[in-house]
Amino acid sequence: MFTSGNVTARVFERQIRTPPPGASVNRARHFYENLVPSYTLYDVESPDHCFRKFTEDGLFLISFSRNHQELIVYRPSWLTYSTTDDSTTTLPPLPRRASKFDSFFTQLYSVNLASSNELICKDFFLYHQTRRFGLFATSTAQIHDSSSPSNDAVPGVPSIDKITFVLLRLDDGVVLDERVFLHDFVNLAHNMGVFLYDDLLAILSLRYQRIHLLQIRDSGHLVDARAIGYFCREDDELFLNSSSQAMMSQDKSKQQSLSGSKEDDTGENGLRHSLSQPSGSNSFLSGVKQRLLSFIFREIWNEESDNVMRVQSLKKKFYFHFQDYVDLIIWKVQFLDRQHLLIKFGSVDGGVTRSADHHPAFFAVYNMETTDIVAFYQNSAEDLYQLFEQFSDHFTVSSSTPFMNFVTSHSNNVYALEQLKYTKNKSNSFSQFVKKMLLSLPFSCQSQSPSPYFDQSLFRFDEKLISAADRHRQSSDNPIKFISRRQPQTLKFKIKPGPECGTADGRSKKICSFLFHPHLPLAISIQQTLFMPPSVVNIHFRR
């Protein structure tokens, strides 16, 4: 888009040449080829916090205190300093305070979010950009062998006494609202159990198999929109309660005729099961499960037109697996749009453990408005994979701002697609490959960095060492190179998480995480050994 590689020529070219229609952002991003975080300040004097991430608009840096009680919010303010030195030969030295974290980041405030027995979940943070709200979670310790008395809890799922979601205005740190879950389990690691889509928040209670849908109001209130699980429609419970009360006072025959007259109602199935809820038995299916089973049933039914074949097919594909289907629990949920959820189902064991590879799993698309299951796939389904390959952006960026559309994926970037195809061709078994790829679904909310340095149309880098995904990595002693795409031989910058010949004594494995600012040539790398805190913080920036 620019004819020259030199930034000054580009600045002047921008003055005369209009970018192709709709590509002014794309063109501006090309400046990142010139402006890179190539200078590193190693081991800056930094407060001993867990640095979580930059918000997507780059206005805040979120961190937590080591004791996981406090939220400390910084403003990335960039190093500014006055100099009098102007030697024409060498770069002037940085001022002494440059090696302080505070020179780059201004602490806005520190708020205590957790009481004594609670801890902030350091892997959980969601950002509502339009309002600049942050969502945090605190929890008490996890009890593995849950002996909680609750009847409708899924056995085998651990319980946490108290999980609190805190909605906070990041501008000033004022807590706006809280939502508490008692004796429940929400998978908070990497935002797994929570998904934010515009102002809609889905919180998945693994223990009670309920998707709590909340709305974040502009006023900063968390308002219950609906809960999907046992019930599907907002008024199901109300309707059920009123009907069951009515039924108490009615004789049995009337009750039958009532439910009989409801035969054609779409909500009929859910209704009948729910009717028996007061009995407290788990032998009846929840609304979502019922929807799922009926969808599977109908799909198989519709496959065959011949009645005999149909029954056989049902036997083989449905009744035989019936109990497996019944035993499925919701593992993870994401929004596809405002109506549709992508739900992953699996066995109880797989829902809690991290390595769920060998467990069978299924994907369903659920329409919240009609309360229908729209589609159902196995985790080895090639057609789902095809969709994922071609339209991965529809899975990954559905939660975010237009800026996130620039995040590289194999659906929008020729190099990433090539890489995917390479892996695909290399894999021994296609179905294993599909399973592995589909592991990333449903997508974890806000788990990618929009930093342009991860834009693969601008830079080539080793994805094993660094990527847009928000993840800790094993530290490498070799610098990570960012190579220009346009000039394939040109190293644009390298980033090294440790000093050239520092503490690399090879004794302990080092874990490294990178936080890239979403639009500035600024990154923090945090290096920690497993047993020796505090961590080392390096700042990479354009000098």
Partner 1 sequence: MSSWNYVVTAHKPTSVTHSCVGNFTSPQELNLIVAKCTRIEIHLLTPQGLQPMLDVPIYGRIATLELFRPHGEAQDFLFIATERYKFCVLQWDPESSELITRAMGDVSDRIGRPTDNGQIGIIDPDCRLIGLHLYDGLFKVIPFDNKGQLKEAFNIRLEELQVLDIKFLFGCAKPTIAVLYQDNKDARHVKTYEVSLKDKDFVEGPWSQNSLDNGADLLIPVPPPLCGVLIIGEETIVYCSASAFKAIPIRPSITKAYGRVDVDGSRYLLGDHAGMIHLLVITHEKEKVTGLKIELLGETSIASTISYLDNAVVFVGSSYGDSQLVKLNLHPDAKGSYVEVLERYINLGPIVDFCVVDLERQGQGQVVTCSGAFKDGSLRVVRNGIGINEQASVELQGIKGMWSLKSSIDEAFDTFLVVSFISETRILAMNLEDELEETEIEGFLSQVQTLFCHDAVYNQLVQVTSNSVRLVSSTTRELRDEWHAPAGFTVNVATANASQVLLATGGGHLVYLEIGDGKLTEVQHALLEYEVSCLDINPIGDNPNYSQLAAVGMWTDISVRIFSLPELTLITKEQLGGEIIPRSVLLCAFEGISYLLCALGDGHLLNFQMDTTTGQLKDRKKVSLGTQPITLRTFSSKSATHVFAASDRPTVIYSSNKKLLYSNVNLKEVSHMCPFNSAAFPDSLAIAREGELTIGTIDDIQKLHIRTIPLGEHARRICHQEQTRTFGICSLGNQSNSEESEMHFVRLLDDQTFEFMSTYPLDSFEYGCSILSCSFTEDKNVYYCVGTAYVLPEENEPTKGRILVFIVEDGRLQLIAEKETKGAVYSLNAFNGKLLAAINQKIQLYKWMLRDDGTRELQSECGHHGHILALYVQTRGDFIVVGDLMKSISLLLYKHEEGAIEERARDYNANWMSAVEILDDDIYLGAENNFNLLTVKKNSEGATDEERGRLEVVGEYHLGEFVNRFRHGSLVMRLPDSEIGQIPTVIFGTVNGVIGVIASLPQEQYTFLEKLQSSLRKVIKGVGGLSHEQWRSFNNEKRTAEARNFLDGDLIESFLDLSRNKMEDISKSMNVQVEELCKRVEELTRLH
* Peptide bond between residue 442 and the one before it cis (omega within 30 degrees of 0): yes
CA distance 201 to 334: 10
CB of 529 to partner 1, least distance (A): 34
Q: Which two tokens stand for residue 262?
A: 């409801």
- 96 vs 358, beta carbon nearer partner 1: 96
For the beta carbon of residue 425, count every other beta carbon within 10 angstroms: 9
Neighbours of 479 (CB within 10 A): 16
Spatial CB neighbours of 378, under 8 Å, sequence gap ≥ 6? 360, 361, 362, 363
Q: Which residues of 309-327 are buried (b: 16+ CB within 10 A; e: fewer)?
A: eeeeebeeebeeeeeebee
Least spacing, CB of residue 460 vs partner 1, in Å: 11
User: Is the Cβ of residue 96 or residue 354 nearer to partner 1 in the bound state?
Assistant: 96
Q: How far is the CB of 488 from partner 1 (least distance, A)?
A: 9
In this complex, which beta carbon is closest to partner 1, that of residue 86 or of residue 369?
A: 86
Q: Which residue, 106 or 281, is less far from partner 1 as judged by CB?
A: 106
* Cross-strand bridge partners of residue 540: 40, 523
Query: Containing H/E element for 292?
Result: helix 287-303
Alpha helices in 187-248 (DSSP H): 236-248
Nearest CB to partner 1, comparing residues 371 and 457 = 457
- Least spacing, CB of residue 183 vs partner 1, in Å: 37
CA distance 377 to 372: 15
Report the residue number, 8 or 305, with the smaller CB distance to partner 1: 8
**Cβ distance to partner 1 smaller for residue 66 or 340:** 340
Of 200 and 417, which has the nearer Cβ to partner 1? 417
CB of 29 to partner 1, least distance (A): 9
Burial level of 70, CB count in 10 A (0-12/13-18/19+)?
middle
The one-character DSSP state at 483 is E
- 215-250 burial, b at 16+ Cβ within 10 Å, e below that, comes to ebeeebebeebbbbbbbbbeebeeebeebeeeeeee
Provide the minimum distance between the beta carbon of 15 and partner 1 in the complex, in angstroms, as a whole number: 5
Residue 48 C-beta: closest distance to partner 1, Å: 23
Residue 420: CB minimum distance to partner 1, A = 12
How far is Cα 30 from Cα 50, in angstroms, rounded to an integer?
32
Closer residue to partner 1 (CB): 80 or 307 = 80
The 3-state secondary structure of 321-371, one letter per residue: CHHHHHHCEEEEEEECCCCEEEEEEECHHHHHCCCCCCCCEEEEEEECCCC
Q: Using the minimum distance from each CB to partner 1, give the nearer residue, 61 or 356.
A: 61
- In the bound state with partner 1, the residue whose beta carbon lies nearer, of 86 and 251, is 86
| The two structure tokens encoding residue 256 | 């039958």
CB of 527 to partner 1, least distance (A): 26
Compare residues 242 and 487 and give the one whose CB is closer to partner 1: 487
Cβ distance 194 to 181 under 8 Å? Answer: no
Q: What's the min distance (Å) between Cβ of 392 and partner 1?
A: 10
Return the CA Rg of the chain: 27
Q: List 439's β-bridge partners, or say none.
A: none
Q: What are the structure tokens assigned to 59, written together?
A: 């206005």
* 86 C-beta neighbours (distance < 10 Å), count: 6
DSSP H helices in 411-478: 414-426, 430-438
Taking the least distance from each CB to partner 1, the nearer of 144 and 338 is 338
Residue 469 CA to residue 532 CA, distance in Å, equals 25
**Residue 397 identity (one-letter amino acid):** V
Sheet holding 480-484, edge to edge: 459-460, 480-484, 491-495
Q: At closest approach, how far in Å is the CB of 282 from partner 1?
A: 39
Q: How far is the CB of 94 from partner 1 (least distance, A)?
A: 9
Smallest gap from residue 442 Cβ to partner 1 (A): 15
Asked if residue 40 lies in contact with residue 495, where contact means CB atoms within 8 angstroms, the answer is yes
